[in-house]
Structure 1
Amino acid sequence: MSQITSDGDKAPREPGNLLAANHYAIVERSSLNEEAQHHWHSSPLPRMSLMSQPEFDSLRDEGPWLVALGEPPESGYATLRDNLGSQAVLGRLSSPLSLPDLASHLSDALICQDKQGATYLLRSYVPHVLAVLHQRKDCPWHGWLFGPIIEWSAEGTDGRIHTHAGHGLSTVPEYVPITLDASLTAMLAIDQQALALLNELKRAAPDVFQTNCHGERLMQVAQALTTARTTELEHPDDHNLFAALYLLDGQAPDKTPHWPAAIRLVKEQNQTLGQALEAVQERHHQ
């Protein structure tokens, strides 16, 4: 069983907040396979997209969702992970806020800016990013971000559950934008593979993107790469091709009829994904 660790002291809470706590999970739909999509659509649990802003229209369905767990929350969370997969359920949190209010708050936390005022999408709910943000108690936005949170738990890359304490406020403090200083940018270690693939796609296939926003484009590429990494593919070049095909075709390659044969060639004959797909298509046309 994963160990549970805490990276901060218990937060002060207003009277009654513990009893009034609502429990939620964050699900990233881009990581769901076909069976998990069926469970998602049939689940009675209330949920809201965190990408509520109009500029996120193209990413809303496949992006992060806040799901209300109901009672008992432990059972609801376990069922969600069993049905959707641990790679799609990216954390569990408690808050005095209602589902709409917390979703609105976390939606605002998807936007950050640099010191020049340029805005970017920030996957603040991803475990390693969340851990970095929680460490920066010296930043003015920290109290805003974690103000209405009681606890926020996520599984780290070490396989352990890390619990981040908030302040348990029943109202959201005045908005303070998340600002990326040099230290925070370095700690977040922005996905260089996603940036490189984005630049290549902008040069070779700019029409694949439905938006001119750099941050939105980067999010699309990052999500496609996340999906690629959940498959049996292991090489970064194969991940890049998978993500590029996903964006170009509008369908993940592992959802196509040729995928089982192609992945077999990759695993058993050590072929690249490109070689395997070409071989399978040649056989199909013979």
Structure 2
Amino acid sequence: MGEKLFAPVMIGIAIFLFILAFATIQYNKLLKRTRYGKEHPEDWLFHDFYLKVYSGFWGAKNPDEVAVKLGIKIDQYYQSCKILRITPNTKKLIVHHIYGLASWFLFGILALLVNIVFIVPGIAVFIYFLIYDQRKLDQKAEEKKMQIENELPRFLDLLKPELEIGMPIETAVYMICEKFDSLLSEELLLSMQEMRLGVSGWNKAIENVAAKYDVETLNDFAMDISTSYRKGIPVVHSVERKTQEIRKTHLLTVKERATKATNTILIPTMLFQFLPMMAFIIFPIFQQTLSVF
């Protein structure tokens, strides 16, 4: 009797959790749209529910330690949040992992006991909570890193003539940032404002942006120009040399990306071309083999 009731109970729990999750998402959207919801979000029973779930599992334990134990790449998560200027929420990330694992376990049991079809929503929920959120965040951060890398050669091309006419580098960097509308200029201006300029504020600003984005070409430029400035070597020579090196590196990177994109397009095309041909050849042989047996 117990075994007969187990499957309906599990199905009921799964349906209840699905309806609850759907209602929570819709109600949260409604709260964000209404004035009362914005002013009194705590009136909703499931407001910041992930904090309750986290406290129920780990109490006041450091979320960074919990994330490492769960296999979450916490350093990469923090860097992506920093690049996108998003406030990290490690507890929410951890609870999403718990939701994904719990759904995988629940739908896995339903697939074994009721119908294999239940494995499909289990995989979908698992991918959404454990992979999609983090992958989407990392992808947006990677796009910004690529944008910085693409803008750097143009930025240096504009910077070099200003230095060659004898303009102080801090003034030149500030002027280029004002004239050159780009993400790199925006980041440098923001960093210089945080440094409040000063004698070497431009230098620290470039180092901060390089450390934030961790782009190889920008890191090399920041290190080279800082070394030249500290040693008293004319910065214009360093900028001229690094401009040529970065342009060559950038060209090689673009060619490598183009090759990867071509391969990505060609492989599916080849598969779709050859699979019907192989099926056309193999199917008659398969039919003859079956007729023999």
Smaller-chain TM-score bracket? under 0.3
Whose helix fraction is larger, Structure 1's or Structure 2's? 2
Higher strand share: 1
| TM-score using structure 2 length | 0.21
- Could you say which structure has the larger radius of gyration? 2
Larger RCO: Structure 1 or Structure 2 (Cα < 8 Å, ≥ 6 residues apart)? 1
